[in-house]
Structure 1
């Protein structure tokens, strides 16, 4: 079912900057009726809300800590009560805590990454999906932002990769469950980009034949794929090639190829967002 944003009620997590802000701008430009913007920085959220304000658009901002599931529940309930339902959910928020080897990570950093990147989106969908299912007269969309790291193993990002691999597997299985149960008005799209130049992956080394995506390009691919009801959007094209090669080659042969293309050293200089 092809969807439209005009008149839609939309919730975007991680909306204070980067891709989240661009998703909000795209939704406003395409005629959304109401936007709920979630993030951790109240001032930044207010600035985004002011920048997209226009007649006919309601914008609410909520400071939400995605690790606090009780707070997440309360925020989700408030959005549903205020907007009267939801048409589009964009699970965009994500974190990466560093470029250390797994055994060098603090346990708190491991749990933080898994809670924000995987558990929070799953929990949020469990709270919002029943209301979406209850309105079969309008197409609904869930866009889950995963990562190429969930497809191609890469040293120094084991927990991030694991969190995104889990996100990808859960998201695609949720899609199949909805189809099997006959809820054809709700589509689920998983977005798996390679490195995106938002600052989150500052300092990473380029991988051969795999350009770093601009945030605008990444959001455009994800957004159009979501509205078209595509199951999985993977970009750039070399990630698709890598996925096929990894499936076809013996493991050690794939490891050698990935090293040759610079995949295994791409995180060596990672600095992240400060």
Structure 2
């Protein structure tokens, strides 16, 4: 099936990886639906950059913790765009709670934001792709913690594991419709979520990462753009780490830890 994407939705695209992805897809020739949770000005800034790339941009608020209602924002953006060829599930958040201190309400909220709301949004987009009969691309921005644990993040890690499993499963179910589904798993990326401001902040030096630095949002966006493109027609059900080699450092990292600080510091 020939696939020529013209429209895309990127959730959580008011800053960071989401913004970089929206702009990258616009430069690839797509009109883009943009969502924001609490930073409308950030979303409008993303929309301005999409329009500067010569494409149309539409902005809607999306709260993925409102599981029954969050699909409405996706439906509205699909109507704005006149369809959806590429859906990028990027919205997400952590909670920073240790397992023993984690209460059921926080657990549920973290799961809703990162997994349950994502399910509703992805399903809404997939149904439109099937009805349109033109194929499609579904891409979830997960995390290296889609496959590896992190202290003080049990709910977040469980949700990202679940999202990775969802993507692999729908890759099987949607293949007959010409729809691929993949995940992109960022490592340490310099974005506002990690305390770095600006569209393309300078990466941090990090000797624990083989490439020696944190990543840039545009480096994640480039991989998403490939998976959204016709060139990725035979790629589905895969998880793509974009982490500077971080996931390969397990035994090496353990061998060079000199204290128990990691047990208390959930940021590492």
| From 132, 136, 142, the counterpart of 1:146 | 142
> What is the alpha-carbon distance in structure 1 between the residues aligned to residue 116 and residue 126 of structure 2?
15
Residue 207 of structure 1 is matched in structure 2 by 208
Given the superposition, is the C-alpha separation of residues 25 and 208 from structure 1 closer, same or farther in structure 2, using an over 3 Å criterion? closer
Contact 1:193 1:235 in 2 (8 A): yes
| Cα distance, 1:96 vs structure 2 | 1.1
- 260-269 or 217-226, which deviates more: 260-269
Q: Do residues 116 (structure 1) and 113 (structure 2) align?
A: yes
What is residue 254 of structure 2 aligned with on the other side? 259
**Structure 2 residue ranges without an equivalent (≥5):** 197-203
Deviates further, 17-26 or 216-225:
216-225
TM value normalised by structure 1: 0.80
Question: CA shift at 1:67, angstroms?
Answer: 1.1
Name the Cα RMSD after superposition: 2.9
Choose from 213, 234, 251 the match for 2:241.
Answer: 234
Match of 1:197 in 2: 190
Task: Give 1:24 deviation, angstroms.
Answer: 1.1
Indicate the residue corresponding to 2:199 in structure 1.
none
In 2, Cα distance between equivalents of 1:267 and 1:139: 46
TM-fit CA distance, 1:199: 3.4
Kept after mapping to 1: 8 A contact 2:27/2:53: no
CA contact (8 A) 2:58 2:80 kept: no
Give the structure 1 partner of residue 225 of structure 2: 223
* Length-normalised TM-score, structure 2: 0.81
CA distance in 1, matches of 2:245, 2:87: 28
Query: 1: CA distance between counterparts of 2:182 and 2:264?
Result: 27
Q: How many residues align?
A: 251
Residue 206 (structure 1) shift: 6.0
Specify the SS of the correspondent of 1:134: helix
Distance 1:66 1:147 in 2: 18
Q: Which residue of 2 aligns with 1:60?
A: 58
Q: Distance in 2 between matches of 1:115 and 1:30?
A: 32
Offset at 1:143? 0.7
